[in-house]
Amino acid sequence: MKTYETLSQAINGLKAEGYTTDFNLSENCLVCNEGKFDINDFEIVNVFRFEGETNPDDSSILYVIESNKGHKGLLVSAYGVYAEGMSAEMALKLRMHTTQ
């Protein structure tokens, strides 16, 4: 996959490549308009990290995701895997991909 300088460039570029589903993080699954996906129902195929121009702590992480049902989409996390309210299993799955 390509590299991107900004989060908005990455989102636009990946949507043009077919990653059009907007995933949201729940406690132990991902949700979107098409339903919910448990931890074993999706794979993270790529991760992009973006830091704020004035504050390196102001970071966003963009997860590129494919479900076992053929959904291709994106999950944006402003705080990465440190957000509260998520199961340990979900945190582990996301953390594995942000440290590679």
Tokens coding 40: 């074993």
pLDDT of residue 23: 94
Report the C-alpha gap between 36 and 93 in whole angstroms: 16
- Tally of CB atoms within 10 A around 44: 16
Q: Which residue has the higher pLDDT, 17 or 96?
A: 17
pLDDT in tens, 47-63: 998 876 655 556 788 99
Question: How do the domains of the chain map onto residue ranges?
Answer: 7-98
Q: Is the pLDDT of residue 21 over 80?
A: yes
pLDDT at 1: 58
Torsion of CA 83, 86, 89, 90, to 10 degrees: -70
pTM above 0.75?
A: yes
